[in-house]
A and B are shown apart, each in its own frame.
Chain A
Amino acid sequence: MTPALETRGLGKQFGALKVTRDLSLKIEQGARHALIGPNGAGKTTVINLLTGVLKPDSGRILLQGNDITDLPVHVRVLRGLSRTFQINQLYADLTPIETIGLAVAERLGRGGDWWRVMGSRADVNAEIAENLERFHLTDVMNEATATLPYGKQRLLEIAVAIASRPRVLLLDEPAAGVPASQRHDILASVAALPREVTVLLIEHDMDVVFSFADRISVLVNGAMLVEGTPEEVARDPQVKAVYLGEAAHG
């Protein structure tokens, strides 16, 4: 089967610094794939290359078998590649309804409609409502995002990515900075993502990685060190030495 997302020999350097080296990654349909690595391993650069924020110096990126290497950011989204950010990227003045409504409108290709009033399409409203409910945002749906508690904002960050109905979702440390009391909600929402959505998770927290992922790639200095099932990765002596350290339990 065609991988949901694939990179072939991806390379990127800033000046003399090689941040991504010959990275070939295959993410199978419906996979729960985690990309881990120590600080400075180049995980964020990989995300930026995949989403089109950065252009690679070499290599190709394929989404559902189609080359998307040269497509701009917003077109990749419409092709089914969506992301969340490590640090929330939301609209401070907009409400969750508006935030999700825009993502739905853009996905339907109606974001440029300038004569139809927002909220006048029943199918769009239904989809907004569905997303709000799934991510427990109905109680705050008409409040400005800036006034929401951090945990709710984090949920909205995931909800807005899902509203684009991605086939591949890149989650960049979804539970980062969330207080322990609200952590469960976030992780439960991530675990409850529909199986047809392929997920690539970038994460520091090993508990999250090992409870969520069915496949793990370890990135060190911009290159792939090891890839395998959670058990294989946890057993791998190289990984223990370089990344997990001796303290990590196998």
Chain B
Amino acid sequence: MSVQSDVGHFARQHASWHWSEIVFWCLVLACGFVFPSRYLIMTDIARLALFALSLDLILGYAGIVSLGHAAFFGIGAYSAGLLALHGIITEPVLALLAAGLAATLAGFATSFLVIRGVDLTRLMVTLGIALLLEALAERFSNITGGTDGLQGIEIAPLLGLFAFDIFGKTGFFYALATLFVLFLIARRIVHSPFGLSLRAIKNNPLRAGAVGVPVNRRLIAVYTLASFYAGIAGALFTQTTALASLDVFSFERSADLMLVLVIGGTGYLYGGLIGAVVFRLLQEFFSTITPQYWQFWIGLVLVVIVLVGRARLHRWALFVPNLIIRQFAGQRAVVAVPESDA
């Protein structure tokens, strides 16, 4: 039956890989070989991208706003640090998973507070939880090292084979591989019935409930999943920098993450990745030309993005590439960035 095959085709359409996605990941991998002197900032971008992917899962898909996502980043970071420092789990990949699970537990426990209420309550509750954890980390300085942070963390070689080198090469490929694997999983999840139910809840929780979606249970599930992702990002931070200090919980970290998604857009998974690249490069660029006032310029860029609208910026940015593509492949072959605003 033709209608049925159309339905199947359209339903699977978003889940199938677009060639631009393959190009994107090839470019990312190529960066690892083309810029061997920039491993540190590229690792930083990969971590930020993973962290932003985590926020996109709850914000872009389920519509849960958070100003305290650093809470889970911080738990992941300290867990990884403590596991390495006390030699509990020395193998980095296992420690990474363990740290992620610690953040997952915290995410599950706090999800019950977060799913209640509306956007403003959620902002306050998430912010409060992150501040609370930061204060606790400072109070229990015998465990966390207080304001000095954890001292003398040594990260064992990856899988017992690849030592973390001074140039950050191992760290970069480790972070990139982690990002890619978790991206694949997230991509699979958002195109599943579960992912669809999240988008439905974001659009209209009343209707979602009226077709049998257990709204609260789904929100708890995705919040817990996102906290796992954030915990992994935090653990990567500790493992690739051998540092864990109080600022992993900081408000600035949560707020920067929002800015990353403002730049990149939400609800199509690549927003966090593109946003992380643009945000860090802008930060680099502005702090090189004007070390004191870079924040002014970042602020200006954000205001422009919000006022002009990301959709329009994307159209402008893709104007020339599309002009060229049309010459070769006809009218219909254009590159477009899927758009869904938070």
Q: A90-B207, A164-B211 are in contact. Are A101 and B197 (CB under 8 A)?
A: no
Q: Give the one of B189, B196, B221 with max A CB within 10 A.
A: B196
Contacts of A92 in B (CB 8 A): 203-204
CB atoms of A106 and B12 under 8 A apart: no
Q: Does B337 contact A (CB under 8 A)?
A: no
Q: In the bound complex, do residue A77 and residue B193 qualify as a contact, i.e. CB atoms below 8 Å apart?
A: no
Q: Which of chain A's residues have a CB closer than 8 A to the CB of B25?
A: none
A125 and B197 contacting across the interface, CB-CB below 8 Å: no
Q: Are B8 and A114 in contact (CB under 8 A)?
A: no
Assess the B191–A74 pair: CB atoms within 8 A.
Answer: no
Assess whether A107 is interfacial by the CB under 8 Å rule: yes
Q: Give the interface size bracket for B toward A.
A: 35 or more
Stretch at the interface among A22-30, A116-124, A179-187, A236-244: A116-124
**Residues B15 and A106 in contact, CB atoms below 8 Å apart:** no
Report the bound CA distance from A102 to B10 in whole Å: 14
Chain A contributes a number of interface residues (CB within 8 A of B) equal to 50
Do A141 and B212 contact each other (CB < 8 Å), given the known contacts A93-B340, A98-B196?
no
Interface presence of A158 (CB below 8 A): no
Question: Shortest CB–CB separation between residue B210 and chain A, in angstroms?
Answer: 6
Q: In the complex, what residue of chain B is closest to A145 when comparing beta carbons?
A: B203
Binds B, one of A2-10, A126-134, A192-200, A214-222: A126-134
Minimum distance in angstroms from A52 CB to a CB of chain B: 9
A110 CB within 8 Å of chain B: yes
Contact B194 A112 (CB under 8 A): yes
A107 partner, pick from B189, B209, B212, beta carbons under 8 A: B212
Task: Answer yes or no: A97 CB below 8 A from chain B CBs.
Answer: yes
Contact A114 B189 (CB under 8 A): yes
Asked if B166 lies at the interface with its beta carbon under 8 angstroms from chain A, I say: no
* Residue pair B195, A114 in contact (C-beta under 8 Å): yes
**A73-B7 contact given A92-B203, A110-B193, A118-B196, CB 8 Å threshold:** no
Q: Is B188 an interface residue (CB 8 A)?
A: yes
A97 close to B203 (CB less than 8 A):
no
Asked if A74 contacts B6 (CB within 8 A), the reply is no
Least distance between B191 CB and chain A CB atoms (Å): 5
For A133, the chain B residues whose CB sits under 8 A away are 3
Chain A residues 80 to 106 lying within 8 A of chain B, measured CB to CB, are: 82-83, 85, 89-95, 97-99, 101-103, 105-106
Closest residue on chain A to residue B225 by CB atoms? A114
Nearest residue (CB) in B for A76 is B212
A125 touches B210 (CB 8 A): no
Is the C-beta of B280 less than 8 angstroms from some C-beta in chain A? Answer: no
State the Cβ distance, B49 to closest chain A Cβ, in Å. 22
Chain B contacts for A164, CB-based, 8 A: 211-212
CB pair B10 A142 closer than 8 Å: yes
With A74-B212, A107-B212, A118-B15 as given contacts, are A141 and B10 in contact (CB-CB < 8 Å)?
Answer: yes
Contact A77:B212 (CB < 8 A) given known A113-B194, A117-B191, A119-B12: yes
Asked if A51 is at the interface (CB within 8 A of a chain B CB), the reply is yes
**Which A residue's beta carbon lies closest to that of B1?**
A129
For the complex of A and B, 9 pairs with smallest distance between CB atoms: A119-B11, A91-B203, A119-B12, A106-B212, A114-B194, A77-B212, A103-B211, A129-B4, A89-B207
Task: List residues of A whose CB falls within 8 A of some B CB.
Answer: 51, 73-75, 77-78, 82-83, 85, 89-95, 97-99, 101-103, 105-107, 110-120, 122, 125-126, 128-129, 132-133, 138, 141-142, 160-161, 163-164
16 A-B pairs besides A101-B196, A110-B193, A128-B4 with CB distance below 8 A are: A77-B211, A77-B212, A78-B212, A89-B210, A91-B200, A92-B204, A93-B340, A98-B196, A98-B199, A101-B11, A103-B211, A107-B212, A117-B191, A118-B15, A118-B192, A118-B196
Show 8 residue pairs from A and B whose CB-CB distance is below 8 angstroms, ordered by the A residue.
A91-B199, A102-B196, A102-B200, A111-B194, A111-B213, A114-B192, A116-B192, A126-B4
